[in-house]
Amino acid sequence: MSRPPAALPIARNRFLQAIAAAYGALWLALAVAPKYRDDWLLENALVFLSGAGLAATHRHFVFSNFSWLCIALFLALHAIGAHSTYSETPIGYWMQNAFGFARNHYDRVVHFGFGLLLTYPLREIALRVLRVRPLWSWLVPLLAVLAASSAYELIEAWVAWIVDPELGTAYLGTQGDEWDAQRDMTWAFAGAVAALAATALFRRATGYEPWALFAPRKRRARR
């Protein structure tokens, strides 16, 4: 395994500053005139909480640049869905027409992206913070994605029920699918498996953890 990454705080990390600026610009652009402002606020509630959590812990634990890029890409996918609601996202309608889908599948794309893009940051936490043994460094992020995915489905339902039941259909985006939550969790699981498989292949081919990507060359070392 390669050494832990040279994880610089944002004040001294130009790569992270560029990621933050790009995401911030996208988020602000999509915050202007969303299709349903109330739904947009609900969709962004967890983003605000997550952002506050990351900011609060930034001095104690800093992700590698690769993990920050993965996190930003997922948040960008979420911002696009929040702007139009997941069930009415134009990209999803394009996919529906192009591939003959029965529904707008953008929500499935984002749930797959949740597993694909957030599994490695969770693996980094398992390795650098929990310092688990090799086998658990693969199992912990997989189980964490499953737990987070199921928790999100529960939180979605509770928020829709408590805050605005009439907005629930737009917020949940089930599109009449009674198995929507289970399918969303399945796609998140598939994304996590894909991420771990890609990580294993990368390690086998290079001898490095993916956190070596975008890190200063002097910090790269063979496992």
- 20: pLDDT confidence band, cut at 50, 70 and 90? very high
Structure confidence by residue, pLDDT tens digits, 195-215: 999 999 999 999 999 999 988
> Would you state the pLDDT for residue 103?
86
DSSP 130: I
The mean of the pLDDT values for the chain is 86
| Closest alpha carbon to 141 in 210, 192, 188 | 192
Q: Which range has the worst mean pLDDT, 7-11, 136-140, 160-164, 182-186?
A: 160-164
pTM of the model: 0.87
Q: Phi and psi at residue 182, in whole multiples of 5°?
A: -65, -40
pLDDT at 222: 44
Q: How many angstroms separate the CA atoms of 145 and 121, rounded?
A: 11
pLDDT in tens, 146-192: 999 988 878 777 766 666 655 555 555 555 566 677 888 999 999 99
What are the boundaries of each domain within the chain? 10-219
Task: Report percent pLDDT > 70 for the chain.
Answer: 86
Exposed, middle or buried: residue 215 (CB in 10 Å: 0-12, 13-18, 19+)? buried
